[in-house]
Amino acid sequence: MEQEKLAALRAREREGRDPTCADETLAYMLQTAAQIGAERILEIGAGKGLTSLAFALAFPQAHITAVERDALRAQTARENIAAFGAEERITLLEGEAAEILPCLEGEYDLIFLDAAKVQYRRFFPDCKRLLRRGGVLFSDDVLLFADGVPPKRRMLARHIEEYLQMLSEDGEFSTEVLPLGAGLAVSRRIR
């Protein structure tokens, strides 16, 4: 019942701007979360809270911290979270991730990075600091320009390219990029 309610919200959200992650991306993340026994989850760029809710519904023991800077989306996320009675399970932090992430403490099992792509590199040191060994960092939309880069998006494409380079060169992570949604980088913290 709750899953159906969430699926309907996800379908509606898919039509808007900055939509929720692809079904296949979500399915893969949920599967990985189950494999690693994720109980502390961080979503950066939470939109209307639908992916955080999916984690909360799938993993009753888990706690999710969700960061969203857009006031309207954060408000909708709060309403969605309340509609599922998940206020105790999801902590929504409204504000700019660049300011919020340095204030977070403790270890997370899983981090879903789905904010402005130009900021991925900037967020990576905090993601690394916050992710436990054996944990997984998911970075969404990294193959956004796999079929070619429109002239106006060259800078963004370069940011993504440099971010992927940074991930692949980091010896503490093992990264693969999967063709799920607009591309999902899966970075396992190996040391």
Positions that interact with ligand SAM (CB under 6 A): 18, 20-21, 43, 45-47, 50-51, 67-70, 73, 96-98, 114-116, 119
Q: How far is the CB of 123 from ligand SAM (least distance, A)?
A: 8
Cβ proximity to ligand SAM: between 133 and 158 the closer is: 158
Name the closest residue to ligand SAM (Cβ): 45
Q: How far is the CB of 111 from ligand SAM (least distance, A)?
A: 12
| DSSP letter for each residue of 83-133 | HTT-TTTEEEEES-HHHHGGG--S-EEEEEE-S-GGGHHHHHHHHHHHEEE
Give the distance between the most distant pair of CA atoms in the chain. 46
Q: How far is the CB of 69 from ligand SAM (least distance, A)?
A: 3
Cα–Cα distance between 191 and 182 in angstroms, integer?
28
DSSP letter (8 states) at residue 176: E
Contact 81, 87 (CB under 8 A): yes
Q: How far is the CB of 132 from ligand SAM (least distance, A)?
A: 21
Cβ proximity to ligand SAM: between 75 and 174 the closer is: 75
Cα–Cα distance between 137 and 111 in angstroms, integer?
5
Q: Which residues contact 175 (CB under 8 A, 6 or more apart)?
A: 164, 167, 168, 185, 186, 187, 188
Cβ proximity to ligand SAM: between 111 and 164 the closer is: 111
Cβ proximity to ligand SAM: between 50 and 110 the closer is: 50
Cβ proximity to ligand SAM: between 68 and 109 the closer is: 68
Q: How far is the CB of 191 from ligand SAM (least distance, A)?
A: 28
